[in-house]
Structure 1
Amino acid sequence: MDMHPLETRQRAITLLRDGATNADVARALKVPVGTIGAWKHKDRATRGECPGAHHSTCPRCDGQPMDSAAYAYLLGQYLGDGSISHYSGHRVPTLRITCADSWPGVSRETAAVLLRVFPHNQIGRVRKAGCHDLKVVSKHLYCLFPQHGPGMKHTRKIALAHWQQEIVDAHPWEFIRGLIHSDGCRITNWTTRVVAGERKRYEYPRYFFTNKSDCIRELYTDTLDKLGVTWTHCTRHGNPYNISVARKQDVALLDVHIGPKY
């Protein structure tokens, strides 16, 4: 999280655009040089410049090819259980995708997708209680995930850039798969009915997607709408955080493209 005042950041950008070095600006404003470097990179990326052109492998900066299907899945994972951090003393930001130990297949798929999107980077693993983070370090994370910003995602507006929406439109199932693998599940519900005087139990599968962000839930439901999948809000304790897909034909369609976590 960026804890520095907006005025400090704006002053830093002004000095950098005037030709000051990262080290000089860091000393003048008493800000870590790694933070200054991140601000400079994000400013140049926003203006369409190519940071580190001589060594760039970024699809957004220099037109390098990108596996769009893999990116659509990774974008869903990032919006659900991903974060980008710029640690003090580090010059380059880190993307972390949190994976539950209960679903090793999802973890393997996420790691494979990270390698497809970042073929020139190494994928790290940080173990935690009951889960682990898959991480990749790249100076181009802000280019590829412009949704990054201060604070938790559900406390601010999340919208896709035009080029991201084009990728999601081209690979909607991969995007939905990433979202469900992060913040969704396939479960079996049950109910009872009285038939011919006898109460019988019925079981049926359904998919849930749960996220506190209104914007991220809307990205999920908008994509389902384009795919012709019927969904409903499932409000619990007054919170509209759950999106349910329960119609038999829609569950069958999600089973073809998503399936249970594994």
Structure 2
Amino acid sequence: MNAHSTEVRQKALALLRNGAKGAEVARRLSVPRGTVSYWLHMDRAKRGECPGAHTPTCHRCDGSPLDEPAYAYLLGLYLGDGHISQYAGHRAPNLMITLDDAWPGIQDEAEETLRRVFPGNATCRVRKPGCHNLKVYSKHLICLFPQHGPGRKHERAIVLEPWQQSIVDAHPWQLVRGLIHSDGCRITNWTTRMVGGERKRYEYPRYWFTNVSDDIRRLYTDTLDALGVTWTHCTRAGKPYNISVARRASVALMDAHVGPKY
């Protein structure tokens, strides 16, 4: 059995933490694939990110395939209307996304997305007044959503890890859809103008996104910038929590890739 130096192991872990695949690391460092998987598992277990023994079901722990477009959409839903918790007596934490009953299509899409990201885990819906909680249990939720932490999201830093940013860069519209479907909407605004001495009413569509977290709003606007979508801050009651997209060309882009809630 070949022994590998601490330096090689640290190089491997550094690459893995930055989003490199296990097979790629094994090739680059001439280390068996199984050794790389073992190093990754022990590293994440040591940091409390991958508790207990598991079967190969985690993209971060053992390199299992991840449906990246579905993950980007689910990340948007999680940052908007989701949270991770663990109840006494449950062996695994649960991800819960709360969605309004006014949009049953989004609830269906969200549940299908949970199945695509966690194909080996059962999902469920819990009825609440005016909404449903969509839930999935998995020991690897913290692996895939490292933004989890104590307190509310706007009270802690929300920063994507390099591997998450790579997924968002590859599937930006899916993240935007998830954010809009959770904390946004498409509305019709109106205004009046004087035309030939007569005041006339004009209507125009606008996309609206509201979130208290500065970091989540910045993630949304940075992604819009990368997509060429023009946006503006809108302060209401002295609180700059709203992002508006109202330019005609930008609304057309949003309509083509996001559309109204359904």
TM tier relative to shorter chain: 0.7 to 0.9
Counting matched residue pairs gives 222
**Alpha-carbon separation, structure 2, partners of 1:256 and 1:246:** 14
Letter of the aligned partner of 2:92 in structure 1?
V
TM-aligned CA distance change 1:261 to 1:49, over 3 Å: closer
Using a 3 Å threshold, how does the CA distance of structure 1 residues 45 and 171 change in structure 2: closer, same or farther? Answer: farther
Partner in structure 1 of residue 219 of structure 2: 219
In the other structure, the counterpart of 2:62 is 62
Q: Is the 8 A contact 2:50 2:140 kept in 1?
A: no
What does 1:1-262 align with in structure 2 at a 5 Å threshold?
A: 44-45=44-45, 47=47, 51-52=51-52, 55-262=55-262
Cα deviation code 1:188-216 (max 9, x no counterpart): 00001110011100000000000000000
> Gaps spanning 5+ residues in structure 1: where?
1-40
Aligned structure 1 segments of 4 or more residues deviating by more than 4 angstroms: 45-54
Offset of residue 52 of structure 1: 4.8
TM (normalized to structure 1)? Answer: 0.81
Distance in 2 (CA, whole Å) between partners of 1:217 and 1:172 is 14
Q: Deviations over 1:86-123 (max 9, x none)?
A: 11222210000111000000001101111100001111
TM-score by length of 2: 0.81
User: What letter matches 1:165 in structure 2?
Assistant: Q
Contact 2:50 2:139 in 1 (8 A): no
Identity among equivalent positions (%) equals 73
In the superposition, relative to structure 1, how do residues 193 and 214 fare at CA in structure 2: closer, same or farther (>3 Å)?
same
CA distance in 1, matches of 2:165, 2:198: 51
Q: Deviations over 1:129-153 (max 9, x none)?
A: 1101000000000100000000010
Aligned to 1:26: none
Q: Deviations over 1:1-59 (max 9, x none)?
A: xxxxxxxxxxxxxxxxxxxxxxxxxxxxxxxxxxxxxxxx9983474986555513101
The answer (yes or no) to whether the contact 2:153–2:213 under 8 Å persists in 1 is yes
Contact 2:45 2:52 in 1 (8 A): no
